[in-house]
C-alpha cells in the first residue's frame, strides 16, 4: 500500500478507499516509510521498537526496585 502511494500510482485517499482503511492510517504508514528510508527526520521503526523495549524494561526494573525496598523494610522491622 505504501509503495502504491510512493510510486504515485494512486493517491493516499484512493489506496485507503480501495483497502477500506482510513486516510490517516495510510498517511502515517507513508510517513513512517519515508523516515525509515532516511527521507524524513524522526525515529525509524527499529528505533521505535528499541525505545518501547527499553521503556518496558525500565518499568520492570522500577517495579523490582520497589519490591526490594519493601522487602528490605519488612526484614529490617523483623530483626529488631
Q: How many domains does the chain have?
A: 2
Label residue 5 exposed, middle or buried (CB < 10 Å: 0-12, 13-18, 19+). Answer: buried
Residues ≥6 apart with Cβ < 8 Å to 36: 44, 45
| pTM of this structure | 0.72
The range of the structural domain enclosing residue 76 comes to: 44-80
- The answer on pLDDT for 79 being more than 80 is no
Tally of CA atoms within 13 A in the half-sphere of 21 that contains its CB: 16
Do 51 and 74 fall within a single domain?
yes
Grid cell at residue 28:
502515517
For residue 18, the Cα-to-chain-centroid distance in whole angstroms is 27
One domain for residues 36 and 68: no
pLDDT for 11-64, tens place per residue? 999 999 999 999 999 999 999 999 999 999 999 999 999 999 999 999 999 999
Quick check: helix, strand or coil at residue 1?
coil
Q: Quick one: pLDDT at residue 67?
A: 98
pLDDT at 80 over 80: no
pLDDT at 72 exceeding the cut of 90 = yes
Amino acid at each position: 500500500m505504501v509503495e502504491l502511494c510512493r510510486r504515485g500510482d494512486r493517491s493516499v485517499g484512493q489506496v485507503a478507499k480501495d483497502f477500506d482503511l482510513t486516510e490517516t492510517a495510510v498517511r502515517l504508514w507513508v510517513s513512517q516509510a519515508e523516515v525509515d528510508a532516511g527521507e524524513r527526520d524522526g525515529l525509524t521503526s527499529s528505533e521505535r521498537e528499541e525505545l518501547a523495549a527499553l521503556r518496558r524494561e525500565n518499568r520492570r526494573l522500577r517495579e523490582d526496585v520497589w519490591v526490594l525496598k519493601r522487602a528490605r523494610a519488612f526484614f529490617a522491622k523483623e530483626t529488631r
